[in-house]
């Protein structure tokens, strides 16, 4: 536990730099870092980290290396466009516990922009919220990592262990960015990921599989419709079969630790669809993309085998095939009682004046990479947000300030500090 004087100095340093932190967050939001279009935002992250005197590393994700890993998700975009950025701080004297401060730079598409009440990329601040695609998920968190780190130095303190500040790609689609960082050799005694988590700690989350289903039909002129086979109609039946599998998995929630009381933990989402060639031709094909979830402890291979079986025995009567098209990830549980959690709980308590709460989230998190494959306690903990992946995404400013303070205190307590002044 930090002494009160150091706590005060660090908290004051966060407050002093907070306007700059918000400006930087807004600048990040103004870079539309959609999948495979993260380069300019990564340039900005690189420049900011480099200006802090960190040892810089930027590299392109490598398909061969990644695809050899069990946690790899097939990537459907060009690898040339995917680069990770890491800045490493090395202490003058190392006697503390090392740390990875991780965040993803990629954001999901906006949907029709005219349905937003403002441009998704203007990062306007209004009534205590910053708006914009990626504001909550998770550019506020990326900036919080950076400015929490800054706060120690501004307070006249040097962390006493290595810190890797990571800005990764592919979190919203495969998880290959963090996986590549782990494969590159970045490891530590703990990881912090400030995803938008309502000022709480993630205790458990689901794994995710992405796949594309193709349903085949028999084309014909509509005048003799009965002689054809409508692939789009059949696709609806296939979707119904998948919903039944989803219901079966949800019915089993009672046997999965931390998922017993969740409302509908397993969600299958039909996220994209296309099919047919002509309004007056019975369609010969329909394709749709699905995101499925699985409980921690279920292997992605097992879940995938059940999904494939469901598709092959579909009641549609159609020829159905499926390919994996992204995430092939397992869920994880953050085991209770780790030192890292204890330090975060203490930091949170000092800032918020209340106990740290944990919860289960039915969405994908890169925490699985570090937890499952790195054996590192991973604290996914971050600010209050609304409408992530929706219209008018926003992040709560005061929450960002407090989360930044908490992370700064966590760094000091976890890594240890030495006085520089
Ligand atoms: Zn996220």
Distance 171 CA to ligand 1 centre (A): 7
Give per-residue pLDDT as tens, 207-218: 999 999 999 999
Distance 157 CA to ligand 1 centre (A): 30
Measuring CA to CA, how many Å separate 359 from each of 57, 258, 333, 384?
Answer: 34, 8, 11, 14
For residues 25-54, give the mean pLDDT.
Answer: 98
Q: What pLDDT sits at residue 94?
A: 82
Distance 341 CA to ligand 1 centre (A): 20
For 122-161, b where at least 16 C-beta lie within 10 A, e where not — what string? ebebeeebbbbbbbbbbbbbbbbbbbbbbbbebbebbbbb
- Closest Cα to residue 281, out of 195, 338, 218, 208? 218
Give per-residue pLDDT as tens, 226-261: 999 999 999 999 999 999 999 999 999 999 999 999
Give per-residue pLDDT as tens, 89-135: 999 878 899 999 999 999 999 999 999 999 999 999 999 999 999 99
Distance 366 CA to ligand 1 centre (A): 8
Distance 369 CA to ligand 1 centre (A): 14
Q: What pLDDT sits at residue 95?
A: 87
Distance 244 CA to ligand 1 centre (A): 28
Distance 285 CA to ligand 1 centre (A): 33
Structure tokens at 165: 């500040």
For residues 28-50, give the mean pLDDT.
Answer: 98
Measuring CA to CA, how many Å separate 187 from each of 31, 130, 359, 375, 417?
Answer: 29, 32, 25, 9, 20
Distance 223 CA to ligand 1 centre (A): 49
Q: Residue 185 gets which letter from DSSP?
A: T
Residue 273 clears pLDDT 90, i.e. is over it: yes
**Among 15-29, 81-95, 194-208, which stretch is predicted with the lowest mean pLDDT?**
81-95
For residues 308-313, give the mean pLDDT.
Answer: 97
Mean pLDDT (the chain) is 97
Give per-residue pLDDT as tens, 350-378: 999 999 999 999 999 999 999 999 999 99
Distance 98 CA to ligand 1 centre (A): 23
Q: Any bridge partners for residue 125, and if so which?
A: 130
Q: To the nearest whole percent, how much of the chain has pLDDT over 90?
A: 98
CB 44 within 8 A of CB 132: no
Which residue bears the tokens 């590159």?
184
Q: Residue 155 gets which letter from DSSP?
A: T
Distance 259 CA to ligand 1 centre (A): 21
CA–CA dist 154, 276 (Å, integer): 61
Helix (H) or strand (E) holding 179: helix 176-183
Residue 341 clears pLDDT 90, i.e. is over it: yes
Helix (H) or strand (E) holding 321: strand 319-328
CA–CA dist 289, 130 (Å, integer): 31
For 257, what's the count of Cα atoms within 13 Å in the CB-facing half-sphere?
11
For residues 174-180, give the mean pLDDT.
Answer: 98
Residue 153 clears pLDDT 90, i.e. is over it: yes
Distance 348 CA to ligand 1 centre (A): 21
Q: List, as ranges, residues with CB under 5 A of the ion ligand 1.
A: 137-138, 195
Tell me how crowded residue 58 is: count the other CB atoms within 10 A of its CB.
16
Q: What pLDDT sits at residue 254?
A: 97
When pLDDT is cut at 50, 70 and 90, the band that residue 50 belongs to is very high
What distance separates the 2 farthest-apart alpha carbons in the chain? 86
Distance 105 CA to ligand 1 centre (A): 9
CA–CA dist 246, 253 (Å, integer): 11
CA–CA dist 194, 382 (Å, integer): 4
Q: What pLDDT sits at residue 73?
A: 97
Q: What pLDDT sits at residue 164?
A: 98
Distance 417 CA to ligand 1 centre (A): 30
Q: Any bridge partners for residue 88, and if so which?
A: 55, 164
Residue 35 clears pLDDT 90, i.e. is over it: yes
Distance 217 CA to ligand 1 centre (A): 38
Which residue bears the tokens 């209770």?
336
Distance 172 CA to ligand 1 centre (A): 7
Q: What pLDDT sits at residue 92?
A: 84
Distance 156 CA to ligand 1 centre (A): 32
Q: What is the pTM of this model?
A: 0.97
Residues 6 or more apart from 8 whose CB is under 8 A from it?
A: none
Distance 310 CA to ligand 1 centre (A): 30
Residue 1 clears pLDDT 80, i.e. is over it: no
């Amino acid at each position: 536990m930090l002494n009160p004087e150091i706590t005060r100095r660090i908290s004051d340093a966060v407050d002093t730099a907070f306007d700059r932190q918000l400006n930087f967050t807004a600048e990040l939001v103004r870079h539309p870092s959609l999948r495979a279009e993260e380069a300019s935002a990564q340039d900005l992250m690189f420049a900011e980290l480099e200006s802090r005197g960190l040892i810089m590393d930027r590299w392109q994700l490598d398909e061969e290396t990644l695809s050899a890993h069990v946690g790899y998700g097939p990537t459907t975009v060009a690898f040339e466009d995917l680069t990770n950025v890491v800045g490493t701080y090395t202490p003058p004297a190392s006697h503390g516990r090392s740390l990875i401060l991780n965040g993803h730079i990629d954001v999901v598409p906006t949907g029709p922009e005219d349905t937003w009440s403002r441009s998704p990329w203007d990062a306007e601040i209004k009534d205590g919220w910053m708006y914009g695609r990626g504001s909550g998920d998770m550019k506020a968190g990326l900036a919080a990592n950076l400015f929490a780190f800054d706060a120690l130095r501004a307070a006249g303190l040097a962390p006493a262990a290595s810190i890797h500040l990571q800005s990764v790609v592919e979190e919203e689609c495969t998880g290959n960015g963090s996986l590549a960082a782990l494969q590159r050799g970045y490891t530590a005694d703990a990881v912090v990921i400030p995803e938008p988590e309502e000022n709480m700690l993630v205790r458990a989350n689901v794994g995710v599989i992405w796949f594309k289903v193709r349903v085949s039909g028999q084309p014909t002129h509509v005048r003799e419709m009965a002689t054809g086979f409508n692939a789009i109609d059949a696709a609806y039946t296939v979707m119904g079969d998948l919903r039944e599998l989803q219901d079966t998995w949800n019915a089993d929630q009672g046997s999965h630790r931390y998922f017993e009381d969740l409302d509908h933990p397993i969600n299958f989402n039909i996220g994209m669809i296309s099919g047919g060639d002509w309004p007056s031709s019975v369609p010969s094909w329909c394709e749709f993309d699905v995101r499925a979830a699985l409980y921690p402890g279920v292997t992605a291979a097992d879940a995938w085998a059940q999904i494939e079986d469901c598709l092959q025995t579909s009641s549609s009567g159609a020829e159905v095939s499926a390919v994996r098209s992204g995430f092939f990830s397992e869920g994880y549980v953050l085991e209770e009682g780790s030192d890292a959690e204890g330090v975060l709980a203490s930091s949170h308590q000092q800032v918020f004046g209340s106990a740290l709460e944990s919860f289960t989230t039915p969405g994908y998190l890169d925490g699985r990479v570090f937890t499952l494959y790195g054996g590192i306690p991973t604290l996914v903990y971050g600010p209050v947000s609304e409408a992530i992946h929706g219209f008018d995404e926003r992040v709560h400013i005061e929450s960002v300030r407090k989360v930044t303070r908490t992370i700064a205190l966590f760094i000091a307590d976890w890594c240890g500090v030495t006085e520089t002044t």
